[in-house]
């Protein structure tokens, strides 16, 4: 083997900086470069090698042995006989004499083109995940993984992982100073490799190893490394799904949502371990279909370190949690839902992120993703950090993530968490602990712009997809188009309805007459937004008890109240959302670390509640009057909202032209009322479609024997009326037939 000349080919200061993992521009030193005398110099760091030889790929010729310049493995040498840059490989010889040939990462050009760099710097790269993170790539016929990370204030960044013994000296990254992106292509690194970023500040401080903000997978908690992964491809049927979902998610559609925390819906009984994505696909999907829900809403599935956050403190926004298996199995769950006609909504968390050292906080040694001022950047209630929506790269990160779930995993919509905390600068803050906007107000103008842009992108790029805001204040126009000054969401959770109705139901029936307005007040604003009526996980945790235990009275009354309440909800204008376990009357408060109490279904009272939910969903779906005008005032008409003494309310739901109206009557006392007269708009027979007191649901069986005929007796301003038998603590649905 020819010997390479031994003169000093690399400045000692560069060698020392490279080996100390402190050089800010490693691509200026490592790889193939033209020396001062015009000859080509190759430099490499191979800490585990006893010797390194330079090979010409074209002919496989050994050009020379490189010279060790540092005891820890810095080698350099002159490419003998080469006049122009060329493709080469390195042969590494270990101390035991074994050899391996590798492609040198420092011989490959940047994978980021000028347009990519421009869009990333501008904050308008809506598929930024295709360039940042860890991407399977092929360069010059060599396969591997391209790593890229945004860390503009770092002095140095290296990727470390299984492939280099987590040694920060081996693979320092190339910096693009125009936009602060660092990148490197590592040949032969493939799916399954664990990795993180080793980031050094300009003053030489080394930060805790950081997980990849754009990582597509992660290792199971409590371990925190990112994992190289390839996005699973959609099946042909899945690619056709968006065309089917468009009508299923319109304002006029029957949208009934089953909210699920996958880690506690059901577990393996023998060891309390999680079900996998595949097992959930086999069990959860048919259950949702059986109960007639149109959608399943998953509490956040992005990777998160702490089980007790329920996913609401995510670290890996682009990675489906590894708790339940690999990304391709999450894709399978989504596809199984779609095959069954079930839409999939994700809870999405752009409002804050946790302070875990491997996460986004102080990412490059500065407040990069969060505001630097704690009055803007710290969430006092949750001990988390708040995104800086005014930084274009941060907004682009979040917008790209939202589109990623919708476009790459086929998700049908996003329920955006904690919108109120984003909209108000003084949210949960004392006077003097917040920074006013440029007009001196409390509105977070940057967050408003971000949310409007989010909704414009979702509805513009993703046909049939929808967004839902968890927004608990009276901010106007949350679900109104951005061109009218609204935020642009498709729907908004009706938190006022939830609070008022639960407060009413928790009263002993003897006292309900004094709280009657809590049932009727919501109709004053019911059509100001496109509302979803939410009975969510938040109502059955933190000492609030289960829905069943919120109900007053003995066990019979508790179940009767709950059934009446559910039927009241399904008859009330607005889309429906129910948290898991509520559909069969779970008794205990929800806990995230154990399965629901499925054994309760051995009790006919719990089975009765479950059966009622299935029948309510069926009627809601089949009767246009119950869903077509959920969001329109023309779809609702009071019959009687003032009988507080008897705690009775009644109204009509109306659909489009030709649709028969549905009469909804609620008796919220345990007193049966015989001959209770209510005005109706037309004569004929009114069939009793549903009675929450039916024996099949565990009730007393009091009712109207399938229906009754309207009489020509004027009542409630209408020419005809029904003399109804109102069961105790019950809701009735009736509809004219024939």
Residue (of 7, 29, 31) closest to 20 by Cα position: 29
Q: CA 359 to CA 186: how far, in whole Å?
A: 23
The answer on 401 and 261 residing in a single domain is yes
HSE-CB at 3 with a 13 A cutoff on CA atoms is 4
pLDDT per position as a tens digit, 386-402? 999 999 999 999 999 99
Identify whether 191 is part of a domain: yes
Q: CA 518 to CA 505: how far, in whole Å?
A: 10
Enumerate residues 6+ apart whose C-beta is below 8 A from 374: none
Spot the catalytic one: 14, 470, 471, 630.
470
pLDDT for residue 483 is more than 60: yes
Task: Compute the mean pLDDT over every residue in the chain, rounded to the nearest whole number.
Answer: 94
Q: CA 464 to CA 249: how far, in whole Å?
A: 7
Instruction: Kindly state the helix (H) or strand (E) to which residue 100 belongs, with its residue range.
Output: strand 99-103
Identify whether 475 is part of a domain: no
- Helical residues (DSSP H) of 292-347, grouped into ranges: 327-339
Check: CB of residue 250 under 8 Å from CB of residue 413.
no
Check: CB of residue 91 under 8 Å from CB of residue 99.
yes
Identify whether 78 is part of a domain: yes
Spot the catalytic one: 14, 417, 615, 688.
417
Give per-residue burial for 434-464: e unless 16+ CB within 10 Å, then b.
beeeeeeeeebebbbebbbbbbebbbeebeb
pLDDT for residue 6 is more than 70: no
The answer on 134 and 70 residing in a single domain is no
Share above pLDDT 90 across residues of the chain, in percent, rounded to a whole number: 88
Q: CA 690 to CA 614: how far, in whole Å?
A: 12
* CATH number for the domain that contains residue 419: 3.20.20.80
pLDDT for 39 equals 84
pTM of the model: 0.94
Distances in Å between the alpha carbon of 85 and those of 38, 82, 142, 518? 11, 8, 17, 78
| Local structure of 278: helix, strand or coil | helix
The answer on 93 and 28 residing in a single domain is yes
pLDDT for 107 equals 93
Instruction: Kindly state the helix (H) or strand (E) to which residue 280 belongs, with its residue range.
Output: helix 277-291
pLDDT for 246 equals 77
Distance of CA 662 to the CA centre of its chain: 36
Q: CA 416 to CA 395: how far, in whole Å?
A: 15
Residue (of 690, 677, 697) closest to 561 by Cα position: 697
The answer on 142 and 52 residing in a single domain is no
HSE-CB at 300 with a 13 A cutoff on CA atoms is 27
Identify whether 581 is part of a domain: yes
Instruction: Kindly state the helix (H) or strand (E) to which residue 548 belongs, with its residue range.
Output: helix 547-550
pLDDT for 415 equals 98
Enumerate residues 6+ apart whose C-beta is below 8 A from 315: 211, 218, 224, 302, 303, 304, 305, 353, 354, 356, 358, 359, 360
Q: CA 228 to CA 101: how far, in whole Å?
A: 22
Enumerate residues 6+ apart whose C-beta is below 8 A from 92: 46, 48, 49, 51, 52, 99, 100, 101, 102
The domain boundary residue, chosen from 203, 227, 251: 227
Identify whether 87 is part of a domain: yes
> Dihedral angle at the C-alpha atoms of 570, 576, 579, 582, nearest 10 degrees?
0
| Local structure of 686: helix, strand or coil | strand
pLDDT for 380 equals 87
* CATH number for the domain that contains residue 215: 2.60.40.10
pLDDT for 83 equals 79
The answer on 334 and 369 residing in a single domain is yes
The answer on 118 and 103 residing in a single domain is no
| Local structure of 530: helix, strand or coil | coil
pLDDT for residue 488 is more than 70: yes
3-state helix, strand and coil shares in percent for the chain, rounded to the nearest 5: 30, 25, 45
pLDDT per position as a tens digit, 22-75? 898 999 999 999 877 778 999 999 998 999 999 988 767 888 899 999 999 999
The domain in which residue 222 lies consists of 114-227
Q: Is 731 exposed, middle or buried (0-12, 13-18, 19+ CB in 10 A)?
A: buried
The answer on 588 and 458 residing in a single domain is yes
The domain boundary residue, chosen from 107, 134, 164: 107
pLDDT per position as a tens digit, 432-457? 899 999 999 999 999 999 999 999 99
Q: How many residues does the chain have?
A: 738
pLDDT for 738 equals 66
pLDDT for 555 equals 96
Q: CA 57 to CA 42: how far, in whole Å?
A: 14
DSSP 425: T
Check: CB of residue 549 under 8 Å from CB of residue 559.
no
Q: Is 698 exposed, middle or buried (0-12, 13-18, 19+ CB in 10 A)?
A: buried
* CATH number for the domain that contains residue 680: 2.60.40.1180
Identify whether 306 is part of a domain: yes
Enumerate residues 6+ apart whose C-beta is below 8 A from 30: 18, 43, 44, 45, 106, 172
Distances in Å between the alpha carbon of 598 and those of 269, 274, 534, 578, 613? 11, 15, 23, 17, 16
DSSP 37: T
Distance of CA 641 to the CA centre of its chain: 39
The answer on 408 and 268 residing in a single domain is yes
pLDDT for residue 585 is more than 90: yes
Check: CB of residue 391 under 8 Å from CB of residue 321.
no
Identify whether 4 is part of a domain: no
The domain boundary residue, chosen from 565, 595, 624: 624
> How many domains does one find in the chain?
4
Q: Is 204 exposed, middle or buried (0-12, 13-18, 19+ CB in 10 A)?
A: exposed
pLDDT for residue 307 is more than 80: yes
pLDDT-based confidence at residue 9 (cuts at 50, 70, 90)? confident
Q: 417 an active-site residue?
A: yes
Identify whether 477 is part of a domain: no
Mean local confidence (pLDDT), 273-290: 98
pLDDT for 234 equals 81
The answer on 638 and 618 residing in a single domain is no
pLDDT for residue 7 is more than 70: no
The answer on 709 and 592 residing in a single domain is no
The answer on 654 and 619 residing in a single domain is no
pLDDT-based confidence at residue 1 (cuts at 50, 70, 90)? very low
Phi, psi of 33 (to 5 degrees): -140, 155
Enumerate residues 6+ apart whose C-beta is below 8 A from 283: 266, 275
The answer on 103 and 118 residing in a single domain is no
Share above pLDDT 70 across residues of the chain, in percent, rounded to a whole number: 99
């Amino acid at each position: 083997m020819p010997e390479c000349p031994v003169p000093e080919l690399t400045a000692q200061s560069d060698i020392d900086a490279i080996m100390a993992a402190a050089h800010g521009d490693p691509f200026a030193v490592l790889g193939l470069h033209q020396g001062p005398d015009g000859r080509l110099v190759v430099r490499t760091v191979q800490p585990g090698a006893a010797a390194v030889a330079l090979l010409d790929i074209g002919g496989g010729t050994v050009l020379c042995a490189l010279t060790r310049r540092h005891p820890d493995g810095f080698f350099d040498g002159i490419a003998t006989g080469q006049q122009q840059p060329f493709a080469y490989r390195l042969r590494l010889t270990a101390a035991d004499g074994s050899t391996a040939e590798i492609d040198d990462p420092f011989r490959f050009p940047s994978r980021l083109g000028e347009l990519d760099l421009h869009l990333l710097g501008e904050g308008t790269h809506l598929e930024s995940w295709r360039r940042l993170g860890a991407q399977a790539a092929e360069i010059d016929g060599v396969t591997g993984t391209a790593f890229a990370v945004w860390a503009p204030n770092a002095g140095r960044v290296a990727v470390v992982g299984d492939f280099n013994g987590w040694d920060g000296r081996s693979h320092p990254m190339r910096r693009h100073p125009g936009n602060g992106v660092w990148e490197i292509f590592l040949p032969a690194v493939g799916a399954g490799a664990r990795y993180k970023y080793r980031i050094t500040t300009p003053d030489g401080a080394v930060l805790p190893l950081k997980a990849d903000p754009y990582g597509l997978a992660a290792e199971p908690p409590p371990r925190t490394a990112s994992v190289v992964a390839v996005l699973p491809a959609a099946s042909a049927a899945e690619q056709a799904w968006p065309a089917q979902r468009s009508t299923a998610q319109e304002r006029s559609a029957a949208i009934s949502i089953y909210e699920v925390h996958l880690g506690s819906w059901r577990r393996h009984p023998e060891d309390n371990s999680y079900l996998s994505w595949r097992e959930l696909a086999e069990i959860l999907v048919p259950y949702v279909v059986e109960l007639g829900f149109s959608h399943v809403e998953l509490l956040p599935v992005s990777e998160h370190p702490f089980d007790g956050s329920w996913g609401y403190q995510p670290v890996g926004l682009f990675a489906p949690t590894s708790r339940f298996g690999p990304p391709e199995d999450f894709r399978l769950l989504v596809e199984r839902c779609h095959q069954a006609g079930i839409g999939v909504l994700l809870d999405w968390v752009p409002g804050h992120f946790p302070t875990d050292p491997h996460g986004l906080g102080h990412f490059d040694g500065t407040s990069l993703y969060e505001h630097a001022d704690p009055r803007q950047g710290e969430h006092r209630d949750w001990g988390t950090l708040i995104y800086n929506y005014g930084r274009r790269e941060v907004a682009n990160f979040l917008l790209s993530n939202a589109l990623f779930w919708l476009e790459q995993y086929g998700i049908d919509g996003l329920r955006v968490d904690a919108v109120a905390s984003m909209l108000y600068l003084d949210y949960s803050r004392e006077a003097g602990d917040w920074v006013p906007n440029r007009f001196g107000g409390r509105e977070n103008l940057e967050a408003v712009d971000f949310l409007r842009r989010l909704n414009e992108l979702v509805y513009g790029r993703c046909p049939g997809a929808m967004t839902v805001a968890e927004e608990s204040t009276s901010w106007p126009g949350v679900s109104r188009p951005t061109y009218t000054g609204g935020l642009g969401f498709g729907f908004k959770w009706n938190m006022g309805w939830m609070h008022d109705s639960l407060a009413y139901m928790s009263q002993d029936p003897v006292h309900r007459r004094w709280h009657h307005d809590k049932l009727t007040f919501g109709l004053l604003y019911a059509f100001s937004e496109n509302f979803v009526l939410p009975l969510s996980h938040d109502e059955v945790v933190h000492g609030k008890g289960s829905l069943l235990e919120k109900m007053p009275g003995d066990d019979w009354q508790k179940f009767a109240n709950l059934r009446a309440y559910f039927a009241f909800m399904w008859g009330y204008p607005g889309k429906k959302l129910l948290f898991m376990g509520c559909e069969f009357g779970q008794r205990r408060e929800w806990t995230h670390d154990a399965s629901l109490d499925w054994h309760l279904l051995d009790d006919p009272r719990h089975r009765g509640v479950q059966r009622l939910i299935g029948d309510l969903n069926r009627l809601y779906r089949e009767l246009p009057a119950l869903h077509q005008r959920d969001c329109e005032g023309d779809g609702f008409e009071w019959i009687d909202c003032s009988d507080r003494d008897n705690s009775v309310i009644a109204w009509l739901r109306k659909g489009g032209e030709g649709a028969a109206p549905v009469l909804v009557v609620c008796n919220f006392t345990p007193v049966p009322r015989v001959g209770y007269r209510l005005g109706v708009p037309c004569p004929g027979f009114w069939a009793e479609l549903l009675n929450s007191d039916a024996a099949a649901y565990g009730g007393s069986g009091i009712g109207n024997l399938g229906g009754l005929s309207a009489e020509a007796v004027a009542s409630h301003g209408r020419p005809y009326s029904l003399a109804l038998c109102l069961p105790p603590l019950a809701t009735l649905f009736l509809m004219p037939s024939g």
